[in-house]
């Protein structure tokens, strides 16, 4: 999911969705990326309705709406394509949509009683609810507290999969770099793994 933050320009984040959307499907241990394999939107024309709904570019205005998918394919999809199950644009985007619908994060959070609110949550309570529901621990990323603020803002929930696309725990090994580091900037801020100690704000919409 993304949120629209005050630092962002007026052209960005027009009418953001009020539900969790897809950021991407990222292989984290492959160097075999075919950077010459360029994005071709006609290959995913059958997926277009679902792509616009579940995988919108919420950070930029809709005039150039395929730019986000192009970026995700060229940076991550061309690496993921080393797996047979993801070895075409249609398979890559189609499988990401399938995983999103299988995880069904929107209804899981609601069932756990975690919904956008003006009061704060404890990060440990959110983690426990998700782990109870999925049987694995996802990686939750936040926008750190601003100067003078005490709360972090939840911004992205990342699920990890095996090569067979089965859910697994998201545990970074010591010294392993985060493949997502600096991939998503909100204004001047970057998302980082949420702290267990800060109160956590889960806004319905921030603009």
Q: What is the pTM of this model?
A: 0.85
Greater confidence (69 vs 10) lies with 69
Active site residue 72: yes
In this prediction, residue 80 has a pLDDT band, given cuts at 50, 70 and 90, of very high
Q: According to the model, what pLDDT value does residue 2 have?
A: 45
Q: What is the DSSP string of 91-119?
A: HHHHHHHHHHHHH-HHHHHHHTT----SS
- Secondary structure string (H, E, C) spanning 163-184: CCCCEECCCCCCCCCCCCCCCC
Question: Which of 76, 102, 149, 176 is the catalytic position?
Answer: 76
Alpha carbon 159 to its chain's center: 9
Active site residue 23: yes
Active site residue 76: yes
Question: Which of 23, 43, 74, 190 is the catalytic position?
Answer: 23
Question: Which of 72, 146, 158, 190 is the catalytic position?
Answer: 72
Greater confidence (24 vs 18) lies with 24
What is the side-by-side strand order in the sheet with 139-143? Answer: 121-122, 199-201, 152-158, 139-143, 192-193
**Which domains are present in the chain?**
11-201 (3.90.730.10)
Contact indicator for 59, 13 with CB cutoff of 8 Å? yes
Which two structure tokens, joined as six digits, stand for 200? 């956590």
Closest to 9 measured CA to CA, from 185, 143, 200, 181: 185
Q: According to the model, what pLDDT value does residue 28 have?
A: 86
Q: Is 121 left (phi over 0), alpha (psi -120 to 50) or beta?
A: beta
Q: According to the model, what pLDDT value does residue 29 have?
A: 78
- In Å, how far are 1, 37, 110, 130 from 106, measured between CA atoms? 10, 33, 6, 11
pLDDT in tens, 163-201: 999 999 997 644 444 544 445 665 556 889 999 999 999
In this prediction, residue 6 has a pLDDT band, given cuts at 50, 70 and 90, of very low
pLDDT in tens, 104-145: 999 999 999 999 888 899 999 999 999 999 999 999 999 999
Q: What share of the chain is helix, strand, coil (3-state, %, to 5)?
A: 35, 15, 55
Q: According to the model, what pLDDT value does residue 8 have?
A: 46
């Amino acid at each position: 999911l993304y949120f629209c933050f005050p630092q962002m320009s007026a052209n960005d984040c027009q009418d953001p969705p009020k539900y969790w959307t897809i950021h991407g499907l990222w292989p984290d241990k492959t160097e075999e990326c075919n950077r010459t394999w360029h994005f071709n939107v006609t290959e995913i024309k059958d997926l277009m309705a679902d792509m616009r709904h579940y995988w919108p570019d919420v950070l930029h205005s809709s005039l150039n709406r395929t730019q986000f998918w192009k970026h995700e394919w060229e940076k991550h999809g061309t690496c993921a394509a080393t797996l047979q199950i993801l070895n075409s644009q249609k398979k890559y985007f189609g499988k990401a949509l399938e995983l999103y619908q299988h995880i069904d994060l929107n209804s899981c959070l609601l069932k756990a009683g975690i919904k956008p609110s003006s009061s704060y949550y404890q990060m440990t309570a959110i983690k426990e609810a998700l782990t109870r529901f999925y049987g694995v621990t996802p990686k939750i990323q936040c926008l750190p507290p601003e100067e003078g603020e005490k709360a972090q803002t939840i911004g992205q929930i990342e699920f990890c999969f095996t090569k067979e696309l089965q859910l697994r725990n998201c545990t970074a090994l010591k010294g392993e770099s985060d493949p997502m580091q600096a991939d998503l900037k909100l204004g001047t801020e970057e998302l980082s793994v949420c702290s267990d100690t800060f109160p956590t704000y889960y806004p319905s919409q921030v603009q």
